[in-house]
């Protein structure tokens, strides 16, 4: 994590130098008033005849104006810098997540990925946009004020840094314990969030299997663990912060005592004492702020380590060999949500090009495309040959055109309209305020769930792979609309292999081949007419579904 942070700082070094330079000017302007007031008091003590209060007020006012300008510039540059760094992190994270094999995401759980893309990103945003720039500003301020004290009243340096050894010892104690505590706390929150999200998404299944009590118990256990670590980090802060507060009280108190002694012994002038005390008070602020933001930075580092963990996941193994055809073959495919508990067992099948097969998707075993194992193909090659649309629809921030051409960057408007027409979406798309240029997604025109699903299917049409996997791809449409859409797709996708996963048996009825799974194995295989003639499990399912619908 530290290496990554330094890499980010170096990549944006000129931005950091600009922030540091502006803060140096801010600190320089802030040092003028204490010095001016010290000189004024010194002149009054000496009963000088040329004392000018107007000049002092003018100097102080000018310094404050410049300080305000530099403060504004520093904050603007720091915010811009934070956004650039954050943008870099987000782009790398999203790019890596998109490249992850689906089974990795599924095993981690949607809640885990959701937490990393929301809560962890928020923590990093807070750290990058605020903590890092503020700490940089504080360091520059401390260096500038310390230099001013060294030139104005060197003896006051001892008073200013009197509490530093205690603060350093307490901070080292804190930093030995806090990083790991924050990592576990963040991970505990992710687990709790995952349990909640998965429970909400699987509510019907949980009710059907009467698993409500077990899910409630697991939710309470995960939340209790998170609360336990939240309290532990709170105890760490409760012991550390009081010691940090000493750094605000001790320097000013010591400066007052030393100033009184130096003045009584004639060792320092009024100007030096006044400047030294005011500088001591000024220095306590950035030191305290820096320590406070260091604590905030711990949460950001913990979240950053979770995001960087995505980068450490091994890429899929790539093997030589390109597809020599377009047939899809499965050889002893197995699938299990948990280790040792297979749901699908040793499925083997062959789908010739242009066939529409109703079946469920695999997770292990070997799946080949044209004789090449898809699990060992480069991601780009696999996506070019096989495309998947699930029942989980996504609308991205941007125009309607942007959402469609994700599948084929550079596609013409004619191609986009043709893809929308193929999925029965052209009519409502033409009624949008700006048609293809209409902003959709968060903050834009709100699409209905069925429209979002049609949008996903239009991307599939535009991608034009030779094999398509439709996982409940029309589940959000009513039965009549789904049937019409499937008929429209059939015309566009003629000659392509389609593997459809659906609870509506109308989809199976229209398929060329149907695979019936019983106890994790393929027990029936054939067309609708053949399976109805066999009068087996599929025939019973069809009659039951037909009577209900």
- Minimal CA–CA distance to 293: which of 164, 157, 136, 436? 136
Q: Which residues contact 62 (CB under 8 A, 6 or more apart)?
A: none
Task: Residue 144: name the closest of 398, 107, 152, 549 by CA.
Answer: 152
Q: Residue 529's pLDDT is what?
A: 82
Cβ neighbours, 10 Å, residue 380: 9
- pLDDT of amino acid 362: 34
- 2-312: CATH topology is ABC transporter transmembrane region fold (1.20.1560)
pLDDT category at 488 given cuts 50, 70, 90 is low
The segment with the largest mean pLDDT, out of 43-52, 207-216, 246-255, is: 207-216
What's the pLDDT score for residue 361?
A: 30
Task: Name which residue leads in pLDDT, 369 or 33.
Answer: 33
Taking residues 499-511, report their average pLDDT.
69
Pairing of the two strands 467-471 and 497-501: parallel
Most confident of 205-219, 240-254, 324-338: 205-219
pLDDT at 47 over 60: yes
Identify the pLDDT of residue 232.
92
pLDDT band, very low/low/confident/very high, at 480 (cuts 50, 70, 90): low
Average the pLDDT over each of 2-11, 139-148, 281-290, 487-496 and give the range with the smallest value.
Answer: 487-496
At 432-446, the pLDDT tens digits run: 888 888 888 877 888
pLDDT by residue (tens digit) across 81-114?
A: 777 777 777 777 777 776 666 666 666 666 666 6
Query: Is the pLDDT reported for residue 275 higher than 80?
Result: no
pLDDT, mean over the chain: 74
For 224-256, b where at least 16 C-beta lie within 10 A, e where not — what string?
ebbeebeeebeebeeebeebbeebbebbbebbb
Which of 134-138, 349-353, 492-496 is modeled with the greatest confidence?
Answer: 134-138
In the chain, CATH 1.20.1560.10 sits at 2-312
Average pLDDT of 502-519? Answer: 70
Q: How far apart are CA 537 and CA 152, in angstroms?
A: 94
Reduced 3-state DSSP string for 5-31: HHHHHHHCHHHHHHHHHHHHHHHHHHH
Quick: pLDDT tens for 223-239: 999 999 999 988 998 88
Confidence at residue 45, expressed as pLDDT on a 0 to 100 scale: 63
| pLDDT of 475 | 58
pLDDT score, position 344: 62
How large is the average pLDDT for residues 262-289? Answer: 76
Least confident of 4-18, 217-231, 302-316: 302-316
Percent of the chain whose predicted confidence (pLDDT) is above 90 = 3
Tokens of residue 444, six digits: 């834009």
Q: Please state which of the ranges 17-21, 89-93, 192-196, 516-520 shows the lowest mean pLDDT.
A: 516-520
pLDDT for 231: 92
Secondary structure (H, E, C), 184-196 = HHHHHHHHHHHHH
| pLDDT of res. 170 | 85
CA distance 238 to 232: 10
Q: Give the pLDDT confidence score for residue 323 in this predicted structure.
A: 64
Q: Indicate if the pLDDT at residue 383 is higher than 80.
A: no
- Highest average pLDDT, of 15-24, 329-338, 364-373, comes from 15-24
Q: Which of 52-61, 336-345, 427-436 has the highest mean pLDDT?
A: 427-436
The pLDDT tens digits for 159-214 are: 777 777 888 888 888 888 888 888 888 888 878 887 887 788 777 777 777 888 88
Asked if 408 and 463 touch (Cβ cutoff 8 Å), the reply is yes
Which residues are CB-contacts of 213 (< 8 A; sequence separation ≥ 6)? none
What pLDDT, on a 0 to 100 scale, did the predictor assign at position 372?
Answer: 61
Q: What angle (nearest 5°) sits at the alpha carbon of residue 34, between those of residues 49 and 155?
A: 100
Please tell me the class of the 328-548 domain.
Answer: alpha beta
pLDDT at 221: 92
């Amino acid at each position: 994590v530290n290496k990554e942070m330094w890499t980010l700082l170096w990549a944006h070094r000129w931005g950091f130098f600009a922030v540091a330079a502006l803060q140096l000017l801010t600190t320089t302007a802030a040092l003028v008033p204490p010095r001016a007031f010290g000189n004024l008091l010194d002149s009054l003590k000496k009963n000088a005849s040329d004392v000018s209060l107007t000049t002092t007020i003018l100097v102080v006012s000018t310094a404050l104006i410049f300080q305000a300008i530099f403060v504004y510039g520093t904050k603007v540059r720091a915010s811009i810098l934070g956004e650039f760094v954050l943008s870099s992190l987000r782009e790398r994270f999203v790019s890596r997540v998109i490249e992850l094999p689906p089974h990795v995401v599924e095993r981690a759980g949607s809640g885990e990925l959701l937490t990393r893309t929301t809560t962890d990103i928020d923590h990093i945003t807070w750290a990058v946009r605020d903590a890092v720039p503020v700490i940089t500003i504080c360091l520059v301020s401390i260096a500038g004020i310390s230099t001013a004290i060294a030139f104005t009243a060197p003896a006051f340096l001892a008073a200013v840094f009197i509490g530093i050894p205690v603060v350093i010892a307490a901070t080292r104690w804190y930093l030995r314990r806090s990083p790991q505590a924050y990592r576990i706390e963040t991970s505990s929150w992710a687990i709790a969030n995952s349990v909640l999200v998965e429970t909400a998404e699987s509510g019907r299944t949980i009710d059907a299997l009467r698993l409500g009590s077990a899910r409630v118990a697991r939710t309470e256990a995960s939340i209790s663990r998170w609360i336990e670590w939240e309290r532990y980090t709170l105890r760490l802060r409760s012991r550390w912060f009081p010691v940090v507060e000493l750094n605000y009280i001790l320097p000013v108190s010591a400066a007052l005592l030393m100033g009184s002694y130096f003045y009584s012994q004639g060792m320092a002038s009024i100007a030096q004492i006044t400047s030294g005390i005011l500088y001591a008070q000024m220095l306590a602020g950035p030191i305290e702020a820096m320590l406070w933001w260091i604590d905030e930075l711990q949460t950001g580092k913990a979240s950053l380590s979770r995001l960087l963990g995505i980068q450490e996941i091994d890429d899929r193994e790539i093997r030589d060999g390109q597809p020599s055809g377009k047939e899809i073959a499965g050889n002893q495919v197995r699938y299990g949500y948990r280790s040792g508990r297979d749901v699908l067992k040793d499925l083997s099948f062959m789908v010739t090009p242009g066939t529409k097969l109703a079946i469920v998707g695999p997770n292990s075993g070997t799946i080949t495309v044209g004789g090449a194992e898809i699990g060992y193909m480069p991601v780009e090659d696999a996506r070019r040959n096989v495309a998947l649309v699930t029942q989980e629809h996504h609308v991205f921030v941007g125009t309607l055109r942007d959402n469609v051409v994700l599948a084929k960057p550079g596609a013409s408007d004619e191609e986009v309209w043709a893809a929308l027409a193929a999925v029965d979406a052209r009519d409502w798309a033409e009624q949008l305020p700006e048609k293809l240029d209409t902003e959709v997604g968060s903050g834009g025109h709100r699409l209905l769930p069925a429209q979002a699903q049609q949008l996903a299917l239009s991307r599939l049409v535009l991608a034009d792979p030779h094999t398509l996997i439709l996982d409940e791809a029309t589940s959000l449409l009513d039965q009549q609309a789904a049937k019409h859409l499937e008929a429209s797709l059939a015309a566009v996708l003629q000659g392509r292999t389609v593997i459809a996963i659906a609870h509506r048996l109308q989809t199976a009825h229209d398929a060329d081949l149907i695979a019936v799974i019983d106890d994790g194995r393929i027990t029936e295989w054939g067309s609708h007419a053949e399976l109805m003639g066999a009068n087996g499990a599929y025939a019973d399912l069809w009659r039951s579904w037909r009577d209900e619908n």
